[in-house]
Amino acid sequence: MSKTREVYVCSVCKAQTPQWRGQCPNCRAWNTLEAVAVARGSAGLKPAGAVLAKVRPIALCDVADVGHAPYGSGLAALDRVLGNGLMPGAGILVGGEPGIGKSTLLLQVAGLVAKQARPVLYATGEESLPQIKARAERLGLLDPHLTALATTRVEDVLNALAVGRHALLVLDSVQTMTSLEAEGLPGNVSQVRAVATMLLETCRRTGVTLILVGHVTKDGVLAGPRLLEHTVDTVVSLEGDRRHTFRLLRVFKNRFGPNEELLVFRMGTDGMRVVDDPSTFFLDARDPSLSGTAVVMAVDGQRPLAVEVQALVAHTFLSIPRRTALGFDVNRLHLLLAVLEKRLKLSFNQVDIYAKVGGGMRLQEPGLDLALVAAVLSSYYDVPLPEKCVLWGEVDLNGQVRPVTAQEARLAQARRLGYIPIVYPDASAGGIATVAALQQQLFRRH
């Protein structure tokens, strides 16, 4: 027999609560809560010992696909990175740091979908209804088809879904919701698993698109069980520095479109606005006459972006020189400095070296190596690079420069933007092969 637990059900409004109270928290009636035994692990209230209905397999050719065509989110660029838009019955998990703009972006999507005369339910456990209304008024998204619900009980959300025909459900956030089917405080593994499973099963059965907001840990990964990422259809992350205006939306998993897509937003008082051409968006206010700066043609997702890399080499007064890196792994900086000392016979034991990626971006791709080397040499010799110089390439431990992915796309984008010289790893086509060749080409007098 399945395990049972005791919950209290109001005899007037049928609301559920895990503990007895003198007054019903939903309808405010007194002395109406009655104890009822229910089975664990099922969505909704079910008497103990109830028999589940049998589910039979069906031939794929006989499956009806009417009503499962994707619909637009109101943002054409977002539809492109998601595949063809929002798919009925699909589950989308959105992660990001606190204050990065998740609630603002999803309220925009909810409002734009509602303006298409599609019923939308925005359920939140983090804000009150007046707060959501104030933000919607600021964004100009108030619409009769946009309804909101402030609760921390998933049963309230399921009951709201049962009333009317909704196209989209936004839940902000899954860590704030609790279920009567699980024990523990909101946000623990059992509660997150139970809430997500109940919502996903209901939305897939009724054809409602589900967007779940998930918290992230201090390391930037989604909190909670990895079961969430396996269960949903799409996993996206909203990143960026809260002190800057831009935000990056990355797609890590997508069953309806390409992975590793990237979308750039600009945060403003009127919400998130898509940056149509982010190729040079991260080079604002750059002064090319200064030493220690280089431009890398990086590929983040499927699109080449011109990003500034900065380095500062300064005399040290410490017994152990300082090495600092922002926007990439500091171990990469240590590795490249060791290569320069070995292959170019340079000495960095009396200098501090600081390096960062401009604009608050984080880059992990290997094409960053060559631009980082050029920025360090530029600061070391105190010689600026040519104004329109752009670089990319992977540097190995032997000092050789190796090709990276999307070489042709980077080259075409650099030529389109008018960069010259273009320094890239292809010796047979006018590129360079080693870091020594880079030094000879850009710093001949040194």
**From the annotation, which residues make up the binding site for ATP?**
96-103
Angle made by CA atoms 288, 292, 298, in degrees to the nearest 5 = 75
Peptide bond into 173 cis (omega under 30): yes
Q: Which two tokens stand for residue 356?
A: 């960062």
Residues marked as binding? 96-103
Distance CA 418, CA 405 (A): 21
- 3-state DSSP assignment of residue 221: coil
**CB burial string 29-55: b at 16+ within 10 A, e below:** eeebbeeeebbeeebeeeeeeeeeeee
Distance CA 170, CA 94 (A): 10
DSSP letters, 374-429, are HHHHHHHHT-PPPTT-EE--EE-TTSBEE--TTHHHHHHHHHHTT--SEE-S-GGG
Peptide bond into 421 cis (omega under 30): yes
C-beta separation of 363 from 357 below 8 A? yes
- 3-state DSSP assignment of residue 214: strand
- 3-state DSSP assignment of residue 62: helix
Distance CA 154, CA 160 (A): 10
